[in-house]
Copies of this chain bind each other. A is one copy, B any other.
Amino acid sequence: MTDHIRAAVVGSTGYGGVELIRLLLTHPKVTITSVISSSNAGEPLTAGYPHLQQALPVETLDGVDPAIIREKADVVFAATPSGVSGKLVPQLLEHEGLRVIDLSGDFRLKDRAAYETWYKHEAPPQASLEQAVYGLTEIYADQVRGAAFVSNPGCYPTATTLGLIPAVEAGAIDRGSIIVDAKSGVSGAGRGLNIGWHYAEMNENFKAYKVNKHQHIPEVEMVLGERAGEPVTVTFTTHLVPMTRGILCTMYASVADDRFLSEDAWIEMYRSYYKDKKFVRIRDKGQWPATKEVWGSNYCDIGFSVDPRTRRVTIISVIDNLVKGASGQAIQNLNVMMGWEEDLGLRLAPVYP
């Protein structure tokens, strides 16, 4: 077991990158040795992020050079946009001993055709796709352990699949009946400029977007299908909430088994399923989690309601999209890859209020 490693963050000027930096700064076994940006190399990181002044051992942004990254770091987090990671990661993987955790969507779908349909550009090479371990840590820790390359899940898929997997595996719901109504804070859209994310347009506003077209849909179906042992198709709607962080998924399904017509049964099933998982908290009966209750932390909280009138269950899950939905889970994966305690550097209470 290695005691201390050096980390590089590619895409340090995006929200995923800067959140990785915040979290890694308090990780007891990691030192950030390189912050990397293709577009701002040579500039101080604090030019775009004055909040990091004096907080960081390295200050100047490096360019993207796999050989230099390998020299400076033992693990690299690729917090790069979809399309960019697909090209960069194969080059990084050529450098022996360099561990890679990719936060883009490029290596999640194993099916290149599906990738190209949903992401609208060319998929990464098949060889790299096969190397990638899908890092939904609670479910795939065995594969992550010792892996050299982990593909970190998307924010919506994390909240959705953690909320549905126990039910899907148990056959508690009709797999054809799943509807996911997902809501996210604006930071999920990244730091790029867009009139839709302009303050005066988004404040006092709630809206749907990419209805039935979000690129996270096939990822959700892939994971649920894999756990179910048969194809699962979902209806999936994404909405933007006037807040910065947080995802709440309200998930509906028809109860397939009379044993699951009470909330107690759901709570028991999920508490049992996640009993050793530190970051999944099953809420008490009659309590549904709010996004602020996980804000800034790596938790995923889940609550239930069962309506005997309609025989449907309503499952509500929340995460912080930038932590459990991105950078926190990436660190959780690093911990498992390294054989460390899963929650090292992540024992953070949510920030409240």
Contacts and interface: CB of A to CB of B under 8 A. Distances in A.
Contacts of A351: 22, 296, 351
Contact of A307 (B50, B235, B242, B349): B235
Interface in A32-76: 49-56
Contacts of A204: 185, 203-204, 243-246, 291-292, 295
Interface stretch (A102-110, A165-173, A309-317): A309-317
Interface stretch (A127-135, A144-152, A188-196): A188-196
Contacts of A197: 198-200
Given A26-B348, A288-B207, A347-B26, A199 B244 contact: yes
Contact of A195 (B51, B54, B191): B191
A235 B314 contact: yes
Given A54-B281, A208-B250, A349-B22, A310 B244 contact: no
B352 A49 contact: yes
A345 B23 CA distance: 14
Given A206-B246, A207-B291, A281-B54, A193 B198 contact: yes
A99 to B, nearest CB: 23
A233 B353 contact: no
A220 to B, nearest CB: 13
A177 B56 CA distance: 38
Given A198-B199, A353-B15, A305 B193 contact: no
Given A50-B283, A181-B250, A281-B53, A353 B244 contact: yes
Interface string A260-284: 0000000000000000001001010
A248 interface: yes
Nearest to A189: B200
| 10 closest Cβ pairs, A-B complex | A207-B290, A205-B292, A51-B293, A181-B181, A211-B305, A200-B353, A51-B350, A199-B202, A193-B193, A212-B307
Interface of A: 15, 18-19, 21-22, 25-26, 49-56, 179, 181, 183, 185-187, 189, 191, 193-195, 197-209, 211-212, 233-235, 237, 239, 241-246, 248, 250, 252, 278, 281, 283, 287-297, 301, 305, 307, 309-310, 312, 314, 316, 347-353
